[in-house]
Amino acid sequence: MDLLKTTSLSRSFGGVAAVRNVTLAVKDRELLSVIGPNGAGKTTLLKLITGQIPPDTGRIELFGRDVTAVPQYARAQMGIALTHQIVRPFRGMTLGENVTAAMGHGHFNQPVASLFHRPGAADTARARELLDLVGIGHAAGRSASEVPLGYLKRMQIARVLATDPKLLLLDEPLAGLNYSEAGQIADLIVRLNEGGRTVVLIEHNLGEVLRISHRVAVLDNGALLAEGLPAEVIARPDVRAAYLGKEAG
């Protein structure tokens, strides 16, 4: 079954097409990477999928249901989660509180009912487990406004895991991490995927992408240039031209 499917999705900003006519399907339990040069439209594609911005034309289906008109929060409640490329911690909270806050996802649709439920020790403990899972459990008590970027990148993964999503959308989770940190997070992504979560990964770290992805899709100038097995896609001359040519220039 396709967990996520976009059909002829397009979106432009001020006359410039950021995403054009993208038809892409993601299967249940798949680990798909979307790659492409800077400005290829990868982040816009993710924003369209999460519902942060509406498409000009096209359709988005999640779990077999048309969600093109469903607002962002409601899509998140259906079980898709996004980690932001530019980190968005709750800066007035500690890392632990950031993750604990997301543990309330079952109450996020009903403000009145949510008044009668409160975060408990179980939520804090689970948040701590998730921070341990991403390797920063020791920093749970540190303020999100004073830890290094790598910590915030990891915290964001722990925070979305707290909402127990079926589909993880990761926007450059390895950017800004050093070599060994990137490897650890890539391994974590594989473990999460093997644990039953579908993953769509946007990433510039081609080494890790080729190592962990089941399938790769290449965006160029907003359009889907190629998709397939990692080794096959990256060997195609048009992909090399588009991707490497722009990277070099």
Partner 1 sequence: MDAYILSLTIFVAINVALALSLNLISGFCGQISLGHAAFYGTGAYVSAILSVSGVPFAVSFVAGGIAAGILGFLVGLASLRVREDFLAITTMGVNFLFVGFVRKQGWLGGEIGITAIPKPMSDAGMATLAWILVAATAFLLVAIRRSWLGTGFTMIAQDEQAATSLGLNVGRFKLAAFVMGTAAAGMAGVIYAHVAQLIVPDAFGFVVSISILAMVVVGGIGSIFGVILGAVLLTLLPELARFANDYKLLIFGALMVAVMLISPGGLAGAFQRLRAR
- Residue 53 interacts with partner 1 (CB under 8 A): yes or no: no
- Residue 54 interacts with partner 1 (CB under 8 A): yes or no: no
d(C-alpha 142, C-alpha 72), whole Å? 30
The arrangement of strands across the sheet holding 31-35 comes to 80-83, 167-171, 198-202, 31-35, 215-220, 223-228
C-beta separation of 227 from 25 below 8 A: no
Tell which positions 104-143 bind partner 1, by CB under 8 A: 104-105, 107-112, 114-119
- Residue 39 interacts with partner 1 (CB under 8 A): yes or no: no
d(C-alpha 195, C-alpha 191), whole Å? 6
Beta-bridge mates of residue 140: none
Q: Using CB under 8 A, which of the segments 23-31, 89-97, 180-188, 209-217 binds partner 1?
A: 89-97
Rounded to a whole number of angstroms, the minimum distance from the CB of residue 166 to partner 1 is 13
Beta-bridge mates of residue 133: none
Which of residues 7, 12, 21, 52 is near partner 1 by CB under 8 A?
Answer: 52
Helix 149-161 / helix 179-194 crossing angle, nearest 10 deg = 0
Count helices and strands (H / E) in the chain.
10, 10
Rounded to a whole number of angstroms, the minimum distance from the CB of residue 242 to partner 1 is 30
Which of residues 76, 155, 209, 219 is near partner 1 by CB under 8 A?
Answer: 76
The site string for partner 1 over 147-186 (x = CB under 8 A, - otherwise) reads ------------xx--x-----------------------
Contacts to partner 1 by CB under 8 A: 50, 52, 72-74, 76-77, 81-82, 84, 88-93, 100-102, 104-105, 107-112, 114-119, 159-160, 163
